[in-house]
Every structure is written in C-alpha cells, then in structure tokens.
Chain A
C-alpha cells in the first residue's frame, strides 16, 4: 500500500510477514519514527486518512530498552483501540530515557466509514528493531492480526 506523507520528515510503510503485517516508521527522530509506525498500525486496520483526530487519549509507558518500549507503545495503542473501540490518526510521542509520554488522537470506529479490516491482537517481537538509519530513525515490528 502506498505510504502517504503525514509529517514533513516522517513516513511509514507495511512489510510482509506470512500471516500478519509488519509496521515500520521512519523519522528524523526516534520519537517521530514511533509516531509514524503508529500510523502504519492504524493503516493495518483502516485508512488513516479517513480517521478524524477528534478525541485525544494520553498514553504513558515504560520499558528497559528502546525496542521493548516501541513494542509497548504499539501495544498500548492496540489496547486503547480495543477497549475504547477507536481508531487513531494523529500521534505525538515524547521520549525520556526508558519512558514514553504520548498522545493519540482519533475517533470511535464507524464501520460504514472506516471499513475496518482486522483487529490487531498485539505487537510481537518478530523483526523488532529500533535503530538509526540514513541519518534518521527507523522503528519496526510485526503485529499479529
């Protein structure tokens, strides 16, 4: 699926994994790569462009290293999507060491408008990677759908 530009420097993409979907975010900073990967997570379910960023949900999490923190960030989003029955299309991430403070903006799922394809069960550690690449950052993992 073509990756739309949602931020000046950032972009996201999907990559194939047997039965599931890889989500990958690129950014000028690590935080931006996390934000872009979150868009790829939404895009595994529905078109992010169709999701209005009307309501904000605060997300805080912690993990011992960048990679586990990235998986935790996606998993918190999966949790909020599932329990609030929402989709998110705008993300803000602030990283301080092993802690993440973020915000996800979106709206309740509207099946007629969003045509959601799959539920995401969780972010796995398969191909999990957070690293510097080409002067920027990449954050990726496979999500189980």
Chain B
C-alpha cells in the first residue's frame, strides 16, 4: 500500500482522512511492515465502505486486512438505522458466521503423540471434509427450520453436545431473531446433506499444543497452560450461508437504486436496515448464524466420539466459539452516548473487553476469548478482548493470517505431497482429500500470523494470551 495518502496516528494506527463522498474517515490498524505489504485494494475498499449511508465513526480495517468483495476482508463497519444505516450482504460475506471453536482436552503432548497417526486417521475418517462430502444427518423441512431457529442449542437438544457448550458459545448458542422463513428453498436444499461437514478451502480441524503463554493470569482464566492439548475447528454455515449470501447480494444490488443508494461499486450492494430487503436479509443471515453454530456443535460431537475411542481419558470441554463473518446489533459508545448499532465484521472477530455482560461468567473478568486461526504449519493464537478496543474498533480484532500468495501462485510453487512431507518432518500429521487443496493452503502462502497478532496486541485491539501449534491437521 502507498502510505503517502495516509495519516499516521500512532505506530499501529493509520487514518485515511475523510474526503469526497466519504462520510467518515477510514482507519487501518497495522504495523508499518504489514501496511507496506497490504494490498492497495484494502485502501480503496475501506474508502468505499466509508461512503455508505449511516456509517458511524469510521470504516475500520484489521491488521490481516486483504482484498475482499466490496468490504475488505478484515473490515469492520457499524451503521445506525436511525441515520439511514445499511446492512450489506458483502459486508458479512458468503460464509456467514464462519468462525473458530476451541476445545480443551485435558491431555498432554505425550498422550497425543503416542496415538498421533491413529487419531489423525480416525478424525479424517469420521469428520466429513472436502468437496462433495455429506454428513450423516439429513434434515427434513421441519427439522431444518428448527435448526435455523435454534442453532447450537438445537444441536445440543438433539444429543449432539452438552448444555455447558452453550454457555461458551457466542449468543449462548442461539442467535435470536432468526427467520427460517426468509431462507429460500434453494438454500435449505443446499444444506440438506451438509450438516456436520467441515467444508474445504481454508477450513480445518486441528489438534494443537499450547507452546507459548504470554499472559499467565488470562491463560489461567481460560484454562490454558503450556503443554496443554486443544482442538480447534474452523468452519462456517456451509452451503446454506453461501446461498443466502449469493441471493441477497443480487437482491440488494438490484434494490439499491430504489432506495436512493448510489454504490461506488456494485459489490458494495446493501440495503437500508429499515427496508424490506434489509429486514429479510437480517432474518436470513441470523438463521445462517444458527446453521454455523449448529454445524460446529455437531462437529464437536463427532470429535468427542473419536477421542472417546482413541484417547478415552480426554475430556473435551469448550473454551469458546466465536464467529468472524457477521452483522450483529450491539450497543457501543459513540459521539458521547450509547448507540444501538449494526456492526459488520467481515473477517474480523468480536473482541469484547473484560466485564462485558455477553462474555460467559467464568471468563468475564479476563475478557472475551479471541480465536485466531493461522496456517497449518505456523500455529494459531488465543487472544483476549481489551477495554480499549471498544473505542478503537467497536470491540473487534483480526481473524487470521491472511493470504500472502494467490491460490494460483501457490499451486505453481508447491505440490501437496511436498507440503505434507515437510510438515511430517516437523511432527505435524496432515490429512486431506485433496493434494491440490493442501498445495493451495501451503503455510508459506499465508502471511506471518505472528506479525498480525502482534499488531493486534500492540494496537490494543486484543491481548495476546497463548500460541498453539498443530500436531494433527484435517484439511477440508
């Protein structure tokens, strides 16, 4: 990115001053090194978002921001319905409520290493992953609607999980105000056989070891210590969310002129919150959030069954489940008062600071766990929300490493087998139905997740708590 057009507010905060059609400034949080590597498109997209009606304070981009669709990936924007604020399908993304769930296991490295290959084989065999895979759960129309209204709570009621899981899931496992009736028959059909599937692309399930603890007190509150084994699941709302995103993108693009919204680019398609399209989308999008929560809950159940067979001494308790593609109604301080805003996070993680009432009671004093997925070779991070991020980014932080290289280029650079062998030599077992998929997801195709997390920490968006590194990776 050309930094000459930005105003440096601090070492980790860069402002694009308000100009032209911008209603607010844009703010990017990153180190100078990350800024220089960042795609120029992030600049353009952050500026475009700042032109949308009803936007409050600023259009934000997180340290892992990269070129998205309309909104940058790593983008955060809040809109006020009382000021003609909008909701945007592109501002949430196709994979609605894609997110990360982290489970304790109560195991140590030696326990896993003794059965590492067997555990990997069993997880790979029992967790449906990759293109065209189907789950064992097939929902009829009534159950589909019950799932879309009930989320993880529905899954637990059906026997896929424990009541305690819900306390550790955003929205306590059930997104309110979901409208299954706003979800098309096509979207429901697309989901019929996809419950309890991992998906493909950058989605994964990993068994990881806590290799570093940065904040002992918060780590203790989160139940994490060096040498602990955890399981991380990264996936979203599967075909249902993708179809809802697709359909509402088109509806919003067509309806925008009727609402008097002039889009700098069609991909910014949005609708006033207080419009039929806007309300229809919100109801459908919330149903998709429930679908993602239910899906990660079912996957958790499948993982528990595998551990029960392979490592019966394990006790898989949920640390936290947090999404990074959402639009949620939240109260935030802005312009000297508290306002009810529609906060879009596209590839950005909600990061409520200590004391926030939406954080599970046992974790409340420590701050909300922020789960950051890295690439399969480098490791992932657990962070905690801070008090300062409320003023900085509507309590939001980064979500991952972000790609440094296109899939195309990765494919020309590596072979899947070569990637798997290289990781095996470092003690990491990778299982995937697609060698090409593995090559496209090669660790070196991603930016340095440590640099992203450090920037989020130093910018005050979230506090670094622990680093985890994979021992087993199931790639979709």
Interface residues of chain A, those whose CB is within 8 Å of chain B, are 1, 14-21, 45, 63-64, 67-68, 71-72, 75, 78-79, 82-83, 85, 108-109, 111, 115-119, 121-126, 128, 142, 144-145
Give Cα distance in the complex from A129 to B201, angstroms.
25
Can you pick out 15 interface pairs between chain A and chain B where the beta carbons lie within 8 Å of each other? A18-B67, A20-B407, A72-B250, A79-B190, A79-B243, A85-B132, A111-B434, A116-B132, A116-B433, A118-B407, A119-B199, A121-B95, A121-B245, A124-B249, A144-B242
Contact of B406 among A18, A45, A82, A116 (CB under 8 A): A18
Which residues from chain B contact A18 at a C-beta distance below 8 Å?
39, 41, 66-68, 73, 402-403, 406
Give Cα distance in the complex from A108 to B134, angstroms.
13
* A83 and B189 contact, CB distance less than 8 A: yes
Closest residue to A108 on the B side, CB-wise? B132
Give Cα distance in the complex from A128 to B440, angstroms.
24
Which residues from chain A contact B406 at a C-beta distance below 8 Å?
16-18, 21
| Known interface pairs A71-B250, A117-B436, A125-B265; 9 further A-B residue pairs with C-beta atoms within 8 A, sorted by A's residue number | A45-B131, A82-B239, A83-B190, A83-B192, A117-B437, A118-B201, A118-B437, A125-B69, A125-B267
* A122 and B242 contact, CB distance less than 8 A: yes
* B131 and A21 contact, CB distance less than 8 A: no
Closest residue to A117 on the B side, CB-wise? B436
* B189 and A122 contact, CB distance less than 8 A: no
* A144 and B250 contact, CB distance less than 8 A: no
Contact of B409 among A16, A67, A79, A116 (CB under 8 A): A16
Q: Lowest 7 A-B CB distances belong to which pairs?
A: A116-B131, A16-B406, A109-B132, A117-B436, A125-B267, A121-B242, A122-B246
Contact of A115 among B192, B403, B434 (CB under 8 A): B434
* Mask of B265-290 contacts with A, CB within 8 angstroms, 1/0: 11101000000000000000000000
Give Cα distance in the complex from A16 to B413, angstroms.
14
Which residues from chain A contact B202 at a C-beta distance below 8 Å?
19
* A63 and B250 contact, CB distance less than 8 A: yes
* Mask of B385-422 contacts with A, CB within 8 angstroms, 1/0: 00000000000000000110011110100000000000
B136 interface residue (CB < 8 Å to A): no
- B121 CB to nearest chain A CB (Å): 17
* B243 and A145 contact, CB distance less than 8 A: no
* A118 and B440 contact, CB distance less than 8 A: yes
B254 interface residue (CB < 8 Å to A): yes
Give Cα distance in the complex from A75 to B201, angstroms.
18
Which residues from chain A contact B265 at a C-beta distance below 8 Å?
125
Known: A79-B186, A116-B130, A118-B440. A1 touches B411 (CB 8 A): yes
- B283 CB to nearest chain A CB (Å): 20
Contact of A124 among B199, B267, B402, B411 (CB under 8 A): B267
Which residues from chain B contact A17 at a C-beta distance below 8 Å?
67, 406
B435 interface residue (CB < 8 Å to A): yes
Which residues from chain B contact A64 at a C-beta distance below 8 Å?
254
- B52 CB to nearest chain A CB (Å): 15
Closest residue to B411 on the A side, CB-wise? A1
B43 interface residue (CB < 8 Å to A): no
Which residues from chain B contact A67 at a C-beta distance below 8 Å?
266
